[in-house]
Amino acid sequence: MANRMDVDCIMQGNNLDLLKTLPDESIDMVVTSPPYDNLRDYKGYTFDFEGVVKELFRVIKTGGVIVWIVSDAMIDGSETGTSFRQALYFKECGFNIHDTMIWRKDTFTFPDATRYCQCFEYMFVFSKGKPKSVHRIEDRKNKWCGSAVHGTSRNVDGTTFRKSNDKKSNVKEYGVRFNVWDIPTEKNNKTGHPAVFPVALVRDHIISWSDEGDIILDIFMGSGTTGIACVDTNRHYIGFEISPEYCDIARKRIENHIRFPDGEQEVMEGQIGIFDILN
């Protein structure tokens, strides 16, 4: 087993093999989106789902969180249900299903004559025990801002009773987000990767479930969005990616973001080195 671990780097190779090189309980958080069903072409690469989940349980710290963003294909008139089967397998391996969240996009698939337009993906939040870091984002505008806090609770027999408000507090201007997040998709994708995640989506999960200085792992690094979000939030990142082409895309994208955060210039390969920083 490895006794040291490089951070702020992208490693090219099979994610199951690379996971086996990490020490036990060395990762604070995982955020990733696996290739699911046949919804995208990832150059024909596949992965050992069950083997990966078992290794993730080993390497993630007690209290660590995994954000697993997935969707289902429609095959022979039925959704595959792959997302639900995966969620249940995480639970079988010892993870808690801490939350089932929804990413509601500003786009939708081509209209279907017999179904409503599909415009979301699941964001399963798994935890190894009780999450050690929870920083819920409060940016939901409260309709009753300034009025006295009030509400009711329900008894087991169905009757309700009014909650007391001994502190006489008022409703805050902003409340905690709901677990349905409205975040626009990445527009004008010029990276060469077929499915670029919006940085805001990954960043907000990282803020929610980790602390500054934590190590965040993305086992399907793709175009490098997780690395960019970690740079912006003062976290360390490790990325696994089997495609050499996507590794190059991700490294250049992160380098460019570090040197030119506003995206005004391009960085040529080899101009700046940010990898292999020791933990």
CA distance 252 to 273: 10
CA distance 213 to 128: 19
pLDDT per position as a tens digit, 148-180: 776 677 888 878 877 655 556 777 888 899 999
Contact 205, 185 (CB under 8 A): no
Is the model's pLDDT at 278 over the cut of 50? Answer: no
- The answer as to whether 170 is a domain residue is no
Provide the 8-state DSSP code for 170.
B
Bin 159: left if φ > 0, else alpha if -120 < ψ < 50, else beta.
beta
Domain enclosing residue 93, as ranges: 6-137+177-278
pLDDT range class, residue 73, cuts 50, 70, 90? confident
Q: Determine the length of the chain.
A: 279
Kind plus residue range of the DSSP H or E element containing 50: helix 49-59
- The answer as to whether 159 is a domain residue is no
- The answer as to whether 190 is a domain residue is yes
Determine the pLDDT at residue 75: 85
Split into its structural domains, the chain has a count of 1
CA distance 83 to 78: 13
CA distance 232 to 210: 13
- The answer as to whether 93 is a domain residue is yes
- The answer as to whether 22 is a domain residue is yes
Contact 239, 224 (CB under 8 A): yes
Contact 203, 229 (CB under 8 A): yes
Is the model's pLDDT at 104 over the cut of 60? Answer: yes
Determine the pLDDT at residue 201: 97
What CATH number does the domain containing 57 carry?
3.40.50.150
| End-to-end alpha carbon distance in the chain | 16
Whether the pTM exceeds 0.75: the reply is yes
Determine the pLDDT at residue 279: 28
Contact 213, 234 (CB under 8 A): yes
CA distance 5 to 11: 12
- The answer as to whether 108 is a domain residue is yes
- The answer as to whether 162 is a domain residue is no
Is the model's pLDDT at 16 over the cut of 90? Answer: yes
pLDDT per position as a tens digit, 196-239: 789 999 999 999 999 999 999 999 999 999 999 999 999 999 99
Determine the pLDDT at residue 155: 84
- The answer as to whether 257 is a domain residue is yes
